[in-house]
Structure 1
């Protein structure tokens, strides 16, 4: 599911404009966990990806040596995941399970997860808060939860730039952040509200930042080279952390929340 949510730009998960910032944060977090383990200990970590679809995140993580469980309601997406993991030689480290947030406890059992990911999925579930509670319940002690969700102000700006001022106003004032009945997403989030929702599960939020601040607004012709894409990614990373321009994070197409037990 999450693999299809965002507009695709060139590059792999680590270099594509829509995924690079999140990939960097997630792999950095996993690397820190590995470094904290005793010398000689197994460095493989357990990751659960809810709504992981065809494995855009799961397969690269498995290629790093981690054990990844993908839970998704779509049998077609999971079939594609199985083919992709086999083609990349990591089928033994990727488990595909048809299910949803309600089934997580039964799937995980006593083997809780070092990292639980929910990227591009919280927007479409029936009950986001209940889903967050289920996700938090399968995070191991010392483990982390990574949430990526569509952000409200980005679509307001996009509708304004498209000349759709009534739709922009509707997205700004509506409870669900939608611009109208034809909006393809069931809901969008404000960063502060999403942070509160995660904290209500009992987890401690460590970081909240916007991602894809500019990339979805830039014409593809202007980012046709690796150098252009690298420069834009570096600009977005700097802008999202700039102490004087923290508000820019609210304009990101998505918001990334990292929380720990």
Structure 2
């Protein structure tokens, strides 16, 4: 092989490596995912359980937007401040629209420009565009003043896509900084056991080399996929254990009031429940609700939710 051919092969290998990394980069991944993230939470009974269980806790712990509006009306305060909610990493706006439909003023930020544009479109389609502001932003560097929001949401796993421990600590500190004292903060992340089950169920032949390192520290990275699998996968992410998740939140200054397993026994049962009759699905839904605050349920879930307060 000539020196020129060797250099060309090396350049090709570097380009291929860069392409694999880009495919696993969260920003590019969600740019290419399109409406998939909006559709994900209504795609099957299990993903609907994730959404329903999350909104149950939002409804229970959020300040009441309607009550504040009614109080302002009684006091003839036409310019009374609405309840301000940050939806950090809000993607296509499924939660932002739900909140806006209930009277909250929502600011959505997401790293993906494509998801931000979709969020604007979805808010307009649902008639809540005046209550939803969507802009590109990074949870590690929120461009808002201290104490800017009455409540903060970071739902569906955005913090899991911040794989570096120090950067994730910075992101958690940012969520705390922009929330008023005493505000509720809702954070959901991807569970480590669910990541391992995905490898076992869908890509075992090509990705079994990832099992031990992901089990050990929860990090699913482009570098590992390139070295230990076939170079293809989903967006880089960190899978949490329940104790670890709670520990990181407390280190950031949050008081964790609830830790919830959003899918628990129904995790990774999408196909089975999609084929089940309505009565059977409802039985599963009831059991998931029954068990969702069991600590083991959090570790078993695809997503675990922490309901926190700012100290």
After TM superposition, where is structure 1 displaced by more than 6 Å over at least 4 residues in a row? none
Q: Does 1:236 align with 2:272?
A: no
The corresponding residue for 1:254 is 303
Distance 1:134 1:53 in 2: 18
In terms of mean alpha carbon deviation, does 85-94 or 204-213 score higher?
204-213
Distance 1:162 1:102 in 2: 31
Q: Say if 1:8 and 1:241 are closer, same or farther in 2 by CA, change over 3 A.
A: closer
The corresponding residue for 2:161 is 124
2:65, 2:103 within 8 Å by CA — same for their partners in 1?
no
Structure with bigger gyration radius: 2
The corresponding residue for 1:133 is 173
* TM-score in terms of structure 2 length: 0.70
In terms of mean alpha carbon deviation, does 157-166 or 229-238 score higher?
157-166
Distance 1:169 1:5 in 2: 32
The structure whose residues are more often helix, as a share, is 2
Aligned to 1:142, the other structure's residue is in SS state coil
The structure whose residues are more often strand, as a share, is 1
Deviation per CA, 1:109-162: give whole Å up to 9, x if none.
Answer: 366212111121012135111100111100112202111100112233444456
* TM-score in terms of structure 1 length: 0.82
Deviation per CA, 1:47-95: give whole Å up to 9, x if none.
Answer: 1011111111101110111000001122221111111111111111000
Residue segments in structure 1 that go unaligned for 5+ positions in a row:
none
Q: How many residues get paired?
A: 254
The corresponding residue for 1:149 is 189
After superposition, where does 1:99-248 map in structure 2 within 5 Å? 99-104=137-142, 106-107=143-144, 109=145, 112-119=148-155, 120-125=157-162, 127-160=167-200, 164=204, 167-176=210-219, 181=225, 182-184=232-234, 185-220=236-271, 222-224=273-275, 225-241=277-293, 246-248=295-297
Give the RMSD, CA atoms, in angstroms: 3.3
